[in-house]
Every structure is written in structure tokens, then in C-alpha cells.
Structure 1
Amino acid sequence: MTSKGALTKARLAESMLELIQTSGYSGTGLNAVIDHAAAPKGSIYFHYPEGKEGLGVAAVELAAQRFEALITEAAAAADGPAGAVRSAVEALTRIVSESDFRLGCPVSVVTLEMGAESERLRHACATAFESWIAPTAAFLEASGVAANEARSLATVVVSTIEGAVIVSRALHSTQPLTSAADVVAELIDLRCHPAGGTR
């Protein structure tokens, strides 16, 4: 059974994650997190002695875990890496559009706001991106992409999707995400099935 303290700690991280997505890291105050989580005052420093920075790290780690799970599920359900990318982007598109373009990737938000201000937050964001790039690279390699190309291609895939989320929010349109999925899927197909033969 999960303890009351553990539930409060998890609820605080969840609230921080949601508020970062809608208000940004800088725009999210600790009082807002406490109110959103319906947590006792003082609970943040009890569970996160480093205060807002520690809570921000926890939120980034939570976002990383969720998107990594999305990648894993997409890879398991799809018939190949191109299909997996399309499936993952479709899930992201639903999140962005159903929130009326208010929700995006909290990791990119924290990176842009705090990457130059907090080494701890920058490292948490770098770890999050790596947790998405590494399994994507492994899946690409298992699908026929040469080992020395899989990491580079995986980095392009993740970077392209991240950028498309930002542009979609700015334009209030899912077209950037749809276009990104099309281009990335085509690139993956070319690498997995190069002209003139297979790897």
C-alpha cells in the first residue's frame, strides 16, 4: 500500500508538471502547486528540500517516464519504426489539440527557460531527452538501420517532433505535427529500406 506521504509527494510532482505545461516553469509558484495538489502547506519542502528546483526535476523526470512509455507502447503496437513514429505523434497531437494548444512538452519548456540558469534542471532535461533518444535508436537499429546511423537518426526524430510541438502550439494548428510525422516516417523508411537493397 502506498503511504499518504508518498501519495502527496507524487501529487506535488504531478501538479508541478501540469502547471509547467500551462504556465511555464518561471510562471509556476510554489503556492500554486500546493493549491493545485491540495497539499498541506510546508509539504513541498518536506518532500523536496531543494524547493522549486527539486520539484522541477521531479516533474521533468515524470514527463520523461510518460513519454518513454508512449514510445515503448508505440513501438510494440506498430509494424515498424515509421509506423511507431506516426503512432507516437498521433498521441502527442491529441494531447496538444484536446488542450486547445495549451499543453506541450514540459521538458522543452524547462530547457528553454532554465537550461542556462540551473545545471541541475539542465541535466534533468538532458537525461529526459536521452531516455527518448536511446530506445528510439535501439528500435531503429533492430529494424535494419546501421548502428552508426541509428543514434543520429533517433536524435533527428526526437528533435523534429519536439520542434513540431512548439510550432503547433504557436500556430494553434496540428499541421506542423502532421508534417513532421510524414517527413520523419519517410526518412526512416529510406534508412530502413535503402534503394538498391537492404541493410
Structure 2
Amino acid sequence: MTTKGEQTKARLAESMLELIQANGYSGTGLNAVIDHASAPKGSVYFHFPDGKEGLGVAAVELAAKQFGDLIAEASNSAGSPAVAARYAIEALADIVGRSNFRLGCPVSVVTLEMGAESERLRQACAQAFESWIAPTTALLEASGLLSAEARDLATVIVSTIEGSVIVSRAMQSTQPLKSAADVVAALINQRCQMAGERS
């Protein structure tokens, strides 16, 4: 059972995440986070003594977990890596579309805004991307790809998804994400077929 303090800390991280998605890292102030989370004043520095940077790291870690859970769900419910990738991308397209294109990937937002300013935030973002690349690599390896080949393809997949989220928001259309789903699925099928022919 979580304590009241733990619940407040979680609410603050969730609010920071939502506000970064909508307003960017630079556009998100601590007072806005406190108001959004309906948290007591002073709670930010109690739970995050290093202030906004620490709260930003917590938000990035939460985003990493959420998309990681989506990858795991897709992998467990799909019959192949291509189907899993399509499932994950289509789920993201639904989230972006339902938010009226206000919500995107907070990890890419923080990377672009703060990657050169805060080494701690850059590392948190790098770890988030790695937490998505690693299980995708494992899924591809299980389908017969060699380790290095699987890693390269997993990196391309995650990078493609990140880019298509940004383009979808700019164009106010989920078509870039849908196109990414088609191309990624076809690429995975092609590589897995080549691996099968090799073995």
C-alpha cells in the first residue's frame, strides 16, 4: 500500500509528464505542476530536493515505463515483431490524435530542449530510449536476427517512431504515424525473411 507521500510524489511526476507533453520542458513551471497535481506547496522540494531537474528526470522515467509497458503488451499479444510494432505505433497514433495533437513524446521534447543544457536530463533521455531499444532488439533476435542486426533495426524503429510523432503533431495528422507503421512492419518482415533464408 502506497503512502500519502508516495502518492503525492507520483502525482507530481505524472503532472510534470503531462505538462511537458503539452507545453514543453521550458514552458512548464513548478507552480503549474503543483496546481495540476493539486499538491501542497513545498511538496516539490520535499520529494524532489533538486527541483525542476529532478522532477524532469522523474517524468522522463515515467514516460519510459509507460511506453515500455506498451512495447511489452504489444510483444505479448502479437504473433510477430512486425505485428507488435504496428500495434505499438497505432496505439501511439490514437493517443496523439485523441489529444488533438497536443501530446507527443516527452522524452524527445526534453532531449531537444535540454540535452545540451543538463547532462542529468540527457542521460535520463538516453536511458529511456535504451529501455525501448533493448526489448525491441530482444524480440527481433528471438525471430532469428543476429544480435548486431537486431540492435541496428531496433534503433531505426524507435527513431522512426519518435520522428513520426513529431511530424504528426506538426501536420495535425496521424498519417505520418500510420505511414511509419506500414514501413516499419514491411522492413521487419523483410529482415526476418532474410534471416530465415540465411538459417
Structure 1 residues not aligned, in runs of 5+? none
Please give the TM-score of this superposition, normalised by the length of structure 1.
0.98
User: How many angstroms apart in 1 are the aligned matches of 2:187 and 2:15?
Assistant: 37
User: How many angstroms apart in 2 are the aligned matches of 1:116 and 1:148?
Assistant: 29
What residue in structure 1 maps to residue 118 of structure 2? 118
User: How many angstroms apart in 2 are the aligned matches of 1:137 and 1:197?
Assistant: 20
What residue in structure 1 maps to residue 74 of structure 2? 74
- Residue 142 of structure 1 aligns with an amino acid whose one-letter code is A
Q: Confirm or deny that 1:141 pairs with 2:141.
A: yes
Tell me how far 1:144 sits from its aligned partner: 1.3
**Secondary structure, aligned partner of 1:197:** helix
CA-based RMSD:
1.1
1:39-188 matches, within 5 Å, as 39-188=39-188
- Residue 191 of structure 2 aligns with an amino acid whose one-letter code is R
**Secondary structure, aligned partner of 1:194:** helix
Provide, for residues 118-141 of structure 1, a one-character-per-residue CA deviation record: whole Å limited to 9, x for no partner: 000000000000000000000000
What residue in structure 1 maps to residue 27 of structure 2? 27
- Structure 1 runs of 4+ with >3 Å offset: none
Provide, for residues 103-156 of structure 1, a one-character-per-residue CA deviation record: whole Å limited to 9, x for no partner: 010000000000000000000000000000000000000011122200000000
User: How many angstroms apart in 1 are the aligned matches of 2:13 and 2:84?
Assistant: 29
Distance 1:196 1:124, change over 3 A: closer
Structure 2 residues not aligned, in runs of 5+? none
- Residue 31 of structure 1 aligns with an amino acid whose one-letter code is N
